[in-house]
Chain A
């Protein structure tokens, strides 16, 4: 199909402290219905969204991290995480709740440049 566009959702905020992470996830799930080429990028504090073991009972906010594992069902399989951002936070791919592609900052920049539409959260 020629009208398929490349959409990238750029996630740069930690979960819970602000509403951006949850809003992004909801828009991603809605966008999935339109059969576009969707990818998700996690950089800066956005990598914290994917941290394993989130337990939100004590702050009385819904833990939405399990929903990242449903992205596969929505045919969203391109998840890119910036290597430098993980390292600056003492994290590695094993700390994340889903399988991702870990890419360098330079590679991330290239991926962004290839997109038709970039949505920032």
Chain B
């Protein structure tokens, strides 16, 4: 267990930096976590983050990378639904990094 401080408030995370409470998430926390991952958030990043949050809301899981890639392709088009594009945004893995920034648990099936 660990804590991060954002805007004078303290948030609980696990050892790897994933938020413990899904309801703690807000855009300030997302920006903070992104910074710790050395990611400069752009509209393209937010598009993926928002997609992940909607997916979680609907299905109660963070999708595996393969599933995320396919689902993004379906919703946002093939130029975004490929691993080159997604790894370009999240170099250490769209599953791990994007889920962390989105305040979701690690994707199921992610080792």
Among B24-32, B36-44, B53-61, B82-90, the one that faces the other chain is B53-61
Task: Verify if B35 is at the interface (C-beta below 8 Å from A).
Answer: no
The answer to whether A62 and B60 touch (CB under 8 A), given A26-B108, A30-B108, A33-B109, is: yes
For the A-B complex, the count of residue pairs with Cβ-Cβ distances under 8 Å equals 35
CB proximity to B under 8 Å, residues A11-59: 26, 29-30, 32-33
Nearest CB of chain B from residue A26's CB, rounded to whole Å? 6
- Contact between B109 and A67, CB atoms less than 8 A apart: no
Per-residue CB contact flags for chain A residues 51-84 toward chain B (1 = under 8 Å, else 0) read 0000000000011101101100110000000000
For the complex, what is the distance from the CA of A69 to the CA of B70, rounded to whole Å? 16
Contacts of A67 in B (CB 8 A): 59-61
The answer to whether A29 and B64 touch (CB under 8 A), given A73-B70, A73-B71, is: yes
For the complex, what is the distance from the CA of A12 to the CA of B105, rounded to whole Å? 28
- Contact between A30 and B59, CB atoms less than 8 A apart: no
Contacts of A74 in B (CB 8 A): 64, 67
**Total chain B interface residues with beta-carbon distance under 8 A:** 12
Partner of B59, one of A26, A62, A66: A66
The answer to whether A33 and B59 touch (CB under 8 A), given A26-B108, A73-B70, A73-B71, is: no
The answer to whether A33 and B61 touch (CB under 8 A), given A26-B108, A73-B71, is: no
- Contact between A32 and B63, CB atoms less than 8 A apart: no
- Contact between B60 and A66, CB atoms less than 8 A apart: yes
Partner of B108, one of A29, A63, A66, A69: A29
- Contact between B60 and A29, CB atoms less than 8 A apart: no
Which residue in chain A gives the minimum CB-CB distance to B108?
Answer: A29
Contacts of B67 in A (CB 8 A): 70, 73-74
For the complex, what is the distance from the CA of A62 to the CA of B105, rounded to whole Å? 13
For the complex, what is the distance from the CA of A33 to the CA of B66, rounded to whole Å? 8
- Contact between A64 and B60, CB atoms less than 8 A apart: yes
Nearest CB of chain A from residue B31's CB, rounded to whole Å? 27
Some 9 contacts from A to B, beta carbons below 8 A apart, are A32-B109, A33-B109, A62-B60, A67-B60, A67-B61, A69-B58, A70-B59, A70-B63, A70-B67
What 5 pairs between A and B have smallest CB-CB spacing?
A70-B59, A30-B109, A29-B108, A73-B67, A66-B60
